[in-house]
């Protein structure tokens, strides 16, 4: 029956976290945040930020949408994927979800990290803790860029923003709403990151 507690819980998980795995990862990330273990992935020098770079796995859903929100706010911005094919387009499910929020992703094309030009003053905003760790390892001791968890600008803070790719429309909407909220809050913290001459980040 529809009122069965397990079904109600499953429906809530589907809408709020996408999958049970997403719910577990979100819980673990919140526990890490409460324990102070995510301090290295919070923004330390907002005054140094010149461009915000959104990062996810494929650069076709989460980071692509966040970039469009930032463009609308006149921020200097780019996005990339840690494991993607440069030139890949956004799937129909993400296109529809973006339209429901009032944004258009039809022109977006993915950029893989290996094809991305890093600049001094870049703030890399990731969706998941493993992504933050991967970028920190990649950049090593470089101190002219920062890595932070985008979901920390949500209210309440969401250190894990699960990948909506292949998941329900309800979770796409939840995820994109969270991303939009976070980018709006971020813009108030780094207003000096105004739009530059271009928003793309591919090597030329």
Peptide bond into 156 cis (omega under 30): yes
15 carries an active-site annotation: no
Catalytic residue among 56, 61, 154, 175: 56
Number of domains in the chain: 1
**Out of 52-61, 108-117, 195-204, which region has the weakest mean confidence (pLDDT)?**
195-204
Catalytic residue among 25, 48, 62, 180: 62
Higher pLDDT, 11 or 85: 85
The label of the residue with tokens 């998980």 reads 13
62 carries an active-site annotation: yes
The label of the residue with tokens 């609308």 reads 72
Domain that holds residue 27: 5-189
* C-beta of residue 100 within 8 angstroms of C-beta of residue 108: no
Q: Does residue 198 belong to any structural domain of this protein?
A: no
Convert the pLDDT of each residue in 138-155 to its tens digit.
999 899 999 999 999 999
The three-class DSSP label of residue 24 is helix
Q: Does residue 20 belong to any structural domain of this protein?
A: yes
143 carries an active-site annotation: no
Q: CATH code at 104?
A: 3.40.50.2300
Q: Does residue 200 belong to any structural domain of this protein?
A: no
Q: Does residue 197 belong to any structural domain of this protein?
A: no
Phi, psi of 41, rounded to the nearest 5 degrees: -110, 30
Q: Has residue 92 got a pLDDT over 90?
A: yes
Q: Does residue 71 belong to any structural domain of this protein?
A: yes
Q: Does residue 139 belong to any structural domain of this protein?
A: yes
The C-alpha torsion from 33 through 141 and 112 to 173, rounded to 10°, is 20
């Amino acid at each position: 029956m529809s009122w069965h507690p397990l079904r109600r819980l499953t429906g809530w998980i589907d809408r709020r976290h996408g999958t049970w795995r997403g719910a577990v990862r979100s819980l673990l990330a919140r526990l890490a945040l409460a324990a102070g273990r995510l301090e290295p992935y919070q923004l330390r020098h907002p005054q140094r930020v010149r461009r915000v770079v959104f990062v996810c796995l494929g650069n076709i859903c989460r980071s692509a949408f966040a970039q469009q929100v930032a463009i609308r706010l006149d921020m200097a911005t780019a996005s990339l994927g840690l494991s993607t094919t440069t030139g890949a387009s956004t799937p129909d499910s993400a296109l529809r979800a973006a339209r429901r929020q009032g944004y258009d992703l039809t022109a977006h094309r993915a950029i893989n990290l290996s094809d991305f030009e890093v600049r001094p003053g870049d703030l890399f905003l990731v969706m998941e803790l493993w992504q933050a760790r991967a970028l920190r390892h990649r950049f090593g001791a470089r101190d002219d860029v920062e890595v932070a968890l985008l979901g920390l600008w949500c209210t309440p803070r969401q250190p894990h923003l699960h990948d909506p790719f292949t998941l329900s429309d309800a979770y796409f909407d939840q995820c994109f709403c969270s991303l939009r909220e976070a980018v709006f809050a971020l813009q108030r913290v780094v207003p000096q990151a105004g739009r530059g001459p271009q928003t793309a980040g591919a090597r030329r």
